Copies of this chain bind each other. A is one copy, B any other.
């Protein structure tokens, strides 16, 4: 019993923390409550009820099913629902008419076969990637409406009246949702996507910074605690898993009208490309991180020889990322970006040169066997610090070129 109370308490505490961390989610909940309360008026106000009767239920249903977190998602669901209902309603009435003409004996067979055929076809269309991404909900509503219309048509004569009532209540519910979601603290999928990309960039900066600092921590350039550092380094993990979120946000963002700095034809697909580049950087950082975490230590002399250059490459790389993050935030082409990229490439070149000079530098001490083992053990440090910056430069440059394209398109 006590355990159960503790569990419930823990659950409530978690929920409270979530609410404090993201107040906009609480606002969304209040908006859902508001929309439902308004739609309830249909039942409380007698004239409205008399008009629509039991069909007013469909307005409540529409609000519950269609109201989503972002404006784009709500719009997309509304349009899907309306289109699916219209299409299936028209088709259902048509099929019903055909069945009516074919006589009482054939009627149930025609209706049954058509339900089977259209339901199967619509279900199959939901497996096609393009349909799944944008019209999944519409296809489901199509199946639902078509079955209801063609099946209930068997009994009811006022099929057209019913279809009309249902359409108008759905329209009322959908427009109420759109009004509430756009008027009270709207949450735009486009803004969310924009912010997500920007946050991911900053997380990568932190991770890269933290990784390099962690490896060279005895160089005396560490100012934050171990725990904080670890937390910073783990940031890249969010970036690894944000693909699905980015894609759905991008899909929703397309439905949204002009808002704030985003126009209707905003190049949302570019965000996906940037996201993919960021993920490629994150893969590199994941590899770098496991190198840094390995227990094989490089000898101090090599470490010292390379640490300055490595730190330099790291800090120039993060500079580029930071500048890109600012570019994204301001949606203006940065004037400095080319300079910073050149600086980074120069630092990478310096590091390469340092590596080339490494063997001869190490050959100086006379002890031959000691030198050999040093050489051998220097491999891990080369891996750990040289490899990823060079490779990171590649996706970074991709990002730069993409961003320049975006910046050019947006209004830089």
A40 touches which of B22, B26, B112 (Cβ 8 Å):
B112
Residues of B within 8 A of A241 (CB): 243
B-contacting residues, A91-111, CB 8 Å: 108, 111
A383 touches which of B240, B294, B371, B382 (Cβ 8 Å):
B382
B60, A154: Cβ atoms closer than 8 Å: no
Question: Nearest-CB distance from A8 to chain B (Å)?
Answer: 13
- What's the interface size class on A, roughly? 35 or more
Residues of B within 8 A of A243 (CB): 241
Question: Nearest-CB distance from A184 to chain B (Å)?
Answer: 13
B65, A25: Cβ atoms closer than 8 Å: no
| Residue interface mask A120-153, B partner, CB < 8 A = 1 | 1101110110000000000010011001100110
Number of identical monomers bound together in the oligomeric complex: 2
A366 touches B (CB below 8 Å)? no
Residues of B within 8 A of A264 (CB): none
B287, A391: Cβ atoms closer than 8 Å: yes
Where the two chains meet, the residues of A that have a C-beta atom closer than 8 Å to any C-beta of B are 11, 14-15, 18-19, 22, 25-26, 28-30, 32-34, 36-37, 39-40, 43-44, 49, 54, 57, 60-61, 64-65, 108, 111-112, 115-117, 119-121, 123-125, 127-128, 140, 143-144, 147-148, 151-152, 154-155, 240-241, 243-244, 280, 283-284, 286-287, 290-291, 294, 352, 355-360, 363, 368, 371-373, 375-376, 379, 382-383, 386-387, 391, 394
Ranked 6 nearest A-B pairs via Cβ: A356-B376, A33-B116, A33-B120, A29-B120, A29-B123, A359-B375
Residues of B within 8 A of A37 (CB): 112, 115-116
